[in-house]
Structures are given as C-alpha cells and as structure tokens.
Amino acid sequence: MLFIYKQRMKLKAAYDHDFWDGARKTLSVFWTAQAKIWHGYEVEGLQHIPDQGPALIIYYHGVLPVDLYYVTTSIILEKNRLIHLVGDKFLFHIPGWQTMMEVFNVTPGTVSSCIDVLKNGHLLSISPGGVREGLFGDENYSIIWNKRCGFAKVAIQANVPIIPMFTVNIREAFRTPGWARAWLRGIYERTRLPIVPIYGFFPVKLKTIFGEPILPVPNTNPEELAEKVKAAIESLIRKHQKCPGSILRALLERLPFFR
C-alpha cells in the first residue's frame, strides 16, 4: 500500500494527460505491487533499456510470461515508456482479452509491422521461442527457437540494438507436467492449439536480468545475429539460473540466506 501511495501523483498526472495513459499506469502500479509481494520481484540491468529511441528486447519464454508483464509495468513506471509486445495469435481470441491487448499495444507482429514500430522510435519485445518454448521447455531451461531468425531480420533492417532478457526461476512460477509435454507436443505442432495443462502460480523468487545490448554488425546475416543473441541469453541462464530448476529452492530464494 505504501508503494501505491507513493505513486499517486504519477497516476493523477497520467489521468490529467490521457485516460488510457492513466489506466495503464494504474494497472502498472497494482501489477508491480503484486510482483513485489508475491515474487519479491527485482530487475537488474534496467539501465540497458534506453530512455528514448528504439530497441528490441528478446526474452526467454516461461510457461506463462508473467515476467514480461512485470517488465512492462516496471518500464512504464521507471522510464515512462511503453513496450510494444508481440503475442501469439491465440491470445486475441480469448474472450474479454482484446481490450487489454489494445491498452498494452500487443500485436501478432509481422516482420514489416515490427520494423515500423522500431522505426517510429518505440521499444519492442519478442520471444522467438514463443508458446512452443513456454509449454514444451523443461527445468533445464533449454532454448527452443527452431532456427527462427525473423527478429534478427527486424533488428538488421531497423538498425536497432537487441537487448537479451532472462528471468530467474520463471519456469518455477508455473509448470507443465512432463507427461503432457511428451504426449501433446505432436498435437500442438499439427494444430498450434496450446492445450497443455498448466499448474503453479507459486510465490517463487523472480528476478529479471537484462544483458548488454547487441548491435547489428554491417554485412552480418540474420542467422549469425540470431545465434549471437541466443548465446547471450544462454550465458544469462548459465550465470544466474541453477539448473535443473527446483520449485522448493526457488521458494527458499525469497530469503536472502538461500540466494
């Protein structure tokens, strides 16, 4: 409540300027408070996010990307900037979710539309692994990109820095059963229906890490740039994540003694 009270002047100014800006910041205050209370949420490396101008954030996709919501709200409150998000198409068919998608600038995203967002000076976030990585990854935090490099094409053509992002214990907050991953992946690959059961919302310690920006080098190709970004995220995982992930350990990490 103290955190919300301290944000009251920002909220008043936002509503005076624009209703939707006020609505975004109100949701951001409550989401940020929830993140701090439920997950002891922290962000490291926020200085790598520019105060102005475009950048492309590439992140590891958890079962449910709650960390991206927390990052979005942190950047709204700390830098007064809104991240444009690329989300899977099925999100837009969830009843009642369309308005939320519009308020937080979530789009399905094509290469051309992503380039336009960046050339207009905005921040953009993409998870190359998407739902596949989220639902069918495991506690070893292996990256599942299937040679996707569209994001690298976007960065090269827009000539913007790529900022790698990883959230510690994101796979311990929500889980998918091992048997479901094995049985249902074939159905997903044929139909793109995300029907894997999910359990969790455990109050584990979450900490988002932003790595050093990666600038596209002249004459580099998308495949090479994609591999460089993948290696950067894998480096963040090796440095900050204890593998295989453990729900119990992630819960204990709420206490400084166990970190």
The catalytic site residues sit at 61
Crossing angle of the two packed helices 150-158 and 111-119, in degrees rounded to 10: 30
Beta-strand relationship, 174-175 and 199-200: antiparallel
Both tokens assigned to 87: 């989300």
Contact predicate 215/193, CB 8 Å: no
CA pseudo-torsion sign 155, 119, 70, 201: negative
Helix (DSSP H) and strand (DSSP E) numbers for the chain? 12, 9
Both tokens assigned to 227: 């591999």
Start-to-end CA span in the chain (Å)? 27
Q: Beta partners for 42?
A: 207
Q: Please give the order of strands across the beta sheet that includes 55-59.
A: 42-44, 207-210, 162-168, 55-59, 123-126, 83-86, 106-107
Cβ burial of 52 (10 Å; 0-12, 13-18, 19+) is exposed
d(CA 245, CA 240): 11
